[in-house]
Structure 1
């Protein structure tokens, strides 16, 4: 929406005045922190001379971009988590060689401790990967 507003050489205040809303509302809509009502969406389409379908598709694209980045973050997290768990088991293999002969409470304690340590190691890289997709890769795909 911001791009179309700027193409029409309008400020947020100008558009807000025409729509009879606050300029803060326009700012929220442009930042994706809120969405205009159906009535305002029709007015925006008319004022900015942009088909309503185009405005709707762009909103959905932004939502899809966020959902896709979350998906990549989760997949990255699972892969990193699995790899760190695998490496720890290989490095400390003799420590776990007789795990099945231990008491159930000891087994659960070992599993929870390993899970907690690996969850911690995998979280930050997964968040970074998700942000890279959200901020750099998906916008470039959209521009191409």
Structure 2
């Protein structure tokens, strides 16, 4: 696991207060291995322990919880990438299939609006599943690769 904001902050604030890992562990009623694990970014304290840490180290809970907020933002951004990708892929699929099957739609403009809407909905329904897999792949790639690289820069 990478070093998290929480792990870096926890170690920094613990040292500012002059506590060792053992002392903080005793105050929190956890093992010193738990403190070490949290500071290395290999785990997170429970909400109850987060509240105790906040009190003991005189650090607001919001500062300690910033990591969770960053993770939420990352998930939302990944979902947006996947959703936008989905609509782009579905639009291109419908466009390409429309061009390939141009003979089928050559008299579409002479049809009434309800018939045009019906054709569009049917085409959308026939092509809706084609874009799901590529959009999911794009969303996952952005979540695990692109967004962390952007955050590192």
Normalising by structure 2, we get a TM-score of 0.61
| Larger radius of gyration between Structure 1 and Structure 2 | 2
Q: CA deviation at 1:72?
A: 0.7
Report which of the two has the higher share of helix: 1
Question: Which residue does 1:69 correspond to in 2?
Answer: 78
Question: Which residue does 1:141 correspond to in 2?
Answer: 150
CA distance in 2, matches of 1:46, 1:92: 68
CA distance in 2, matches of 1:54, 1:141: 22
Task: Tell me the matched-pair count.
Answer: 126
- Structure 1, unaligned runs of 5 or more: none
- CA gap of 1:86–1:48, structure 2 versus 1, over 3 A, is farther
Match of 1:55 among 56, 59, 64: 64
- CA gap of 1:103–1:142, structure 2 versus 1, over 3 A, is closer
- CA gap of 1:41–1:79, structure 2 versus 1, over 3 A, is same
Correspondence 1:18 to 2:18: no
Q: CA deviation at 1:116?
A: 1.6
Question: Which residue does 1:126 correspond to in 2?
Answer: 135
Aligned CA RMSD, in angstroms, stands at 3.9
Map residues 100-115 of structure 1 onto 2, 5 A cutoff. Answer: 100-101=110-111, 104=114, 108=118, 110-115=119-124
- Structure 2, unaligned runs of 5 or more: 15-19
